[in-house]
Structure 1
Amino acid sequence: MKLTSCLKCVGVAAMVLVFSGCATKAPYDYTAFKESHPRSILVLPPVNNSPEVAASYSVLSYATRPLAEAGYYVMPVTLVAEAFKENGMTQPSDMHATSPQKLSEIFGADAALYITVSKYGTTYQVIDSQSLVAAQANLIDLKTGKTLWSGSAQASSAESNNQNQGGLAVLLITAIIKQVVASTTDESHQIAGIATARLLSAGQRNGLLYGPRSPNYGKDKLD
């Protein structure tokens, strides 16, 4: 194959990658969200698909603040937990399996936020370690059962790392220090705060819309 033919093939492949990447970033369809215009949100305890038992309530502890700052009334977490307990439910999976209509009857909220934690915890390697949290969320209208919004986000302690400097000895020392710090502090919980803020903060591309209590209500940039 001639050089010019190879270059043409590479160019076509690059264009395919560029356009396929653009396709995944298409603007979110907020039609159902705008028709519902929810004012209050019930945050269900996240379903935890990671091996760390603390993941669900770690993410939950950060979830209400960005929603409140976005302009929504958020049902108090302690009240929600007590209401579920009175109805015989203590596991997040059972709460998520409850019908939207039943949740509406119990709590009277306009919408419910269903969060699933897929990754949570710290992994240790010879020359590095990192804490990673990843979660996905769906906002559901409790009257109609329609999905108003879906999103996902993650955060990692490795984002601030620069592994290209210092050589192997420095990397080994850094790895030891990071493992000691991670074992004495709950680094994953801190990373969960970053991931949850990325997931639920309004005003982001394809993120949640501002709620009616926000001065930015109706001023979302959707493109």
Structure 2
Amino acid sequence: MLKSLFQIAFLLMFVSGCATTVEPYDYTALKESAPRSILVIPPMNNSVEVTAPYSFLSTITAPLAESGYYVYPVSVIDSFLKENGLPTPAEMNSVPLEKIDEIIGADAVLYVSIDDWGQKYNVLSSVTVVKGHLKLVSVKTGGLLWDAPIFAQYNPNANSGGGLVGALVGAVVSQIAGEITDNTPLVSRMANNNAINAKKRGLLYGPYKVIKEKQ
């Protein structure tokens, strides 16, 4: 009986370990293309939060630049596209790659979709969620260079004590604070960093990445 329990426990651990195994990303296309510059198109927004696309844009440049790529200023690109008859992200995402190559000259385009965004209030908790997808495409060939899901969430009451009363009080305080302070930019930065720096599946370093040697 005891031996059988140990065998079952070992099997569960093995299956769990297999389920969480991360397969290495195939970077063949990214290495062959070797992009130096990235143009970020304002995201397609599938969430109910109308401010999500431009809030997201404020958080994506830093991790891409820190990974060694030149990133076209997102606000400048947004204004340029609007001034040329493309007022919405949906229309911006439909711009032919040939036009981007001809007019802007970027090596790659980062397309973003946002599936969930913002603060979710339940009886006992308040959670800020950012969920979506990143897709890096070659401007020259239209081929997929890299893609990754983005996800992060923040629960200020995750480690709160005090039982049911403490949870209720914490939820009320979080909801009041949430009306004053928006945590989504912070969570968006977390989501982007998680995706771009993910082990085995993150974005490879670009040509401008400076790796400091240990003293």
TM-score bin (small chain) = 0.7 to 0.9
Q: Tell me, in whole angstroms, the C-alpha distance in 2 between the residues paired with 1:58 and 1:176.
A: 25
Q: Tell me, in whole angstroms, the C-alpha distance in 2 between the residues paired with 1:171 and 1:159.
A: 11
**2:178 corresponding residue in structure 1:** 182
**2:113 corresponding residue in structure 1:** 116
| 86 and 122 in structure 1: CA distance in 2 versus 1, 3 angstrom threshold | same
Kindly state the Cα deviation for residue 154 of structure 1 after the two structures are TM-superposed: 1.4
Q: Pick which of 185-194 and 116-125 moved more.
A: 185-194
8 Å CA contact retained: 2:125, 2:157? no
TM-score scaled to structure 2, two decimals? 0.88
**2:207 corresponding residue in structure 1:** 212
Q: Tell me, in whole angstroms, the C-alpha distance in 2 between the residues paired with 1:109 and 1:160.
A: 43
Q: Tell me, in whole angstroms, the C-alpha distance in 1 between the residues paired with 2:199 and 2:166.
A: 38
| 199 and 14 in structure 1: CA distance in 2 versus 1, 3 angstrom threshold | closer
8 Å CA contact retained: 2:126, 2:157? no
Equivalent residue letter for 1:198: N
Q: CA RMSD in A?
A: 2.3
Secondary structure of residue in 2 paired with 1:113: strand
Q: Pick which of 86-95 and 143-152 moved more.
A: 86-95
Q: Tell me, in whole angstroms, the C-alpha distance in 2 between the residues paired with 1:135 and 1:145.
A: 21
**1:103 corresponding residue in structure 2:** 100
**1:41 corresponding residue in structure 2:** 38
Equivalent residue letter for 2:209: S
Kindly state the Cα deviation for residue 105 of structure 1 after the two structures are TM-superposed: 1.6
TM-score scaled to structure 1, two decimals? 0.85
Q: Which has a greater percent of helix? A: 1
Q: Tell me, in whole angstroms, the C-alpha distance in 2 between the residues paired with 1:160 and 1:211.
A: 38
Q: 1:197 aligns with which of 185, 189, 193?
A: 193
**2:164 corresponding residue in structure 1:** 168
8 Å CA contact retained: 2:56, 2:188? yes
Secondary structure of residue in 2 paired with 1:184: coil
8 Å CA contact retained: 1:62, 1:197? no
Q: Tell me, in whole angstroms, the C-alpha distance in 1 between the residues paired with 2:200 and 2:14.
A: 24
Q: Tell me, in whole angstroms, the C-alpha distance in 2 between the residues paired with 1:193 and 1:160.
A: 20
**1:83 corresponding residue in structure 2:** 80
**2:20 corresponding residue in structure 1:** 21
| 129 and 69 in structure 1: CA distance in 2 versus 1, 3 angstrom threshold | same
